[in-house]
Amino acid sequence: MVALDISHARRRPLPQADAPVRAPAAPSAPRRKADAPRPGGPVTPQSVKGRFRRIKWTSLAFCLAVYGLLPFLRWDRGPDAPGQAVLFDFVKGRLYVFFIEIWPQELYYLTGLLILASLVLILLNAVAGRVWCGFLCPQTVWTDLFLAVERAIEGDRRERLRKREAGLGPRRIAELAAKHAAWLAIATWTGAGLVLYFGDAPQTLRDLMAGEASALAYAWVAIIAGLTYLLAGFAREQVCTFMCPWPRLQGAIWDPEALTVNYRDYRGEPRGSAKKAEQLRAAGEPAGDCVDCLQCVTVCPIGIDIREGPNFACINCGLCVDACDGVMTKLNRPTGLIAYESWTNIERGRRREPQSRRVIRPKTLGLAAAALALAGGMGVALAQRTAGSLTVLHDRNPTAVRLSDGRVRNGYTLRLVNKDRRARTFAIAVTGGGDVALALIGSQTVEAEGDATVEVRATLTGAGAASGPVVFEARDLSGAARFQAADTFMAAP
């Protein structure tokens, strides 16, 4: 049995029933003033070095580079077509992503993409918990960037805490002004970067800098900049804990086999200083490897104590792993006291049982298969789609009328979508429905401009009184395309 908590820095004793091999914990060493938690205050994490910190720096640089440079990538789509690789064109109602062009009628592709993203996120959770939150989530990336600026200007954790308690002075005011100016510059760049995805990036950037962009563009820059400044500068861990719905879903999808950040309490307890541990071991008494240095707490961007057990607020960033490994290395003790480990193995370790990792298991295989199947289906659908479509809307009131000569007539609205960038001329024909004659209101051919939708009225007139299926066909006179749509010829009452 495991209880998962979402509180911040609240200590509770580990359940003795789950850990029969552990002796009672030794009293914790007194916290120094700079290490003590600040109730109600912001979490102030300490910098740390290690492999997971390097991975986070790499992911931060990658995400920021993609976000800032992607709008400037070019993609040749031919004449009279936008040359931006990724573009959300609201004017024409198009979404361009490299060689893919999505029309408003094809928003089901975006729905499929959202479902695919959800499947991948759940798969990542089954493999390594909230690893997305720790390394790739935009909130984490921008918060890391804001924290890096804060450290560069104000110093590391101890110095920042000391300066907060010392009050305001000329130097402190100058530091705060420099920090917030840098934050606002980053936030403004973030807002402007998002606007570049909705218009030609070089031209939009020139218009923004020259003050010639639309009021709507400046409004969105201000909105995104304000949100970035607020969430990454002030809300920080509150977003990851309380505002984001993902930790709330952990109760339903938490997997004890996932490789999440965990504390090997069967090895670390009872806690005590290095000197005290040596004395206990020399006397033949149990002593754990944890020296209660609180490094795992001070480096945590969420402000939790991973030694208390699984916590929904943990974003699996691994910084506490780096901090603990550094302390263990200095003490010439084995690393891995805090590590990416499954909770199942933690319980096996308490019982002194052999441990095994099951990353590949039915759950992960099923999620991976579902994600691959959905991605493959979307890929096939994209590959097989045509450069246009034909839909038919049957008149509803009345569905059919009887003419004075006894024949039956049905009315239809044909909607022809030409996704090609050049104009096309289509001939309309109909099959099925018995002996029926097709007539178009106006010209007997349909002229469709490039990147346009055209509607035309059509009638079917037949001598028979029976209902039956009919198939309308729009054929490009150049022979390049042919679209079909099925409907019904209705008998008159």
**What would the DSSP string read from start to end of 361-384?**
SHHHHHHHHHHHHHHHHHHHHHHH
Amino acid at 152: A
Look up residue 233 and give its DSSP letter: I
Distance CA 56, CA 134 (A): 8
329-353: average pLDDT: 93
Q: What is the mean pLDDT of the chain?
A: 86
The H or E element containing residue 432 is strand 424-432
**Quick check: 268 and 295 in contact, CB under 8 A?**
no
| pLDDT tens profile 87-128 | 998 887 889 999 888 888 788 898 999 999 999 999 999 999
Share of the chain above pLDDT 70, in %: 91
Question: How much is the average pLDDT of 8-24?
Answer: 40
What does the alpha-carbon distance between residue 370 and residue 366 come to, in Å, rounded to a whole number?
6
Element at 469 (helix H, strand E): strand 468-476
DSSP string, 129-141: SSHHHHHT-HHHH
User: So what's the pLDDT on residue 361?
Assistant: 93
* The token pair that represents 14 in the structure block: 């580990």
| Predicted local distance difference test score (pLDDT) of residue 418 | 87
Q: Which residue has the tokens 């359940």?
A: 15
pLDDT band at 174 (very low <50, low <70, confident <90, very high): very high
Token pair, residue 415, equals 């909607």
Q: Give the integer Cα–Cα distance in Å for 308 and 15.
A: 10
Report the alpha-carbon distance of residue 46 to residue 159 in Å, rounded: 10
Q: What is the pLDDT of residue 26?
A: 35
Please tell me whether the peptide bond between 286 and the residue prior to it is cis, using omega within 30 degrees of 0. Answer: no
Is 168's pLDDT higher than 80? yes
Domains of the chain as residue ranges with CATH: 51-107+135-245 (no CATH), 388-489 (2.60.40.10)
Q: Cα 148 to the chain's mean position, in Å?
A: 23
β-sheet with 445-448: strand ranges across? 445-448, 424-432, 468-476, 482-489
CB 406 within 8 A of CB 414: no
- Give the predicted TM-score (pTM) of the model: 0.81
Over the stretch 198-239, which tens digit does the pLDDT of each residue have?
999 999 999 999 999 999 999 999 999 999 999 999 999 999
Residue, of 177 and 36, whose pLDDT is higher: 177
Residues 375-425: tens digit of each pLDDT: 999 999 988 888 888 999 999 888 889 888 888 999 999 999 888 878 889
Q: 91: which 2 tokens?
A: 């004017």
- Structure tokens that stand for 451 in this block: 């990147």
CA distances from 75 to 80, 83, 99, 104 (A): 13, 5, 8, 21
Highest mean pLDDT among 85-94, 308-317, 319-328, 432-441: 319-328
Asked whether the predicted pLDDT for residue 336 surpasses 90, the reply is: yes
Token pair 């986070």: residue: 56
Predicted pLDDT of residue 2: 52
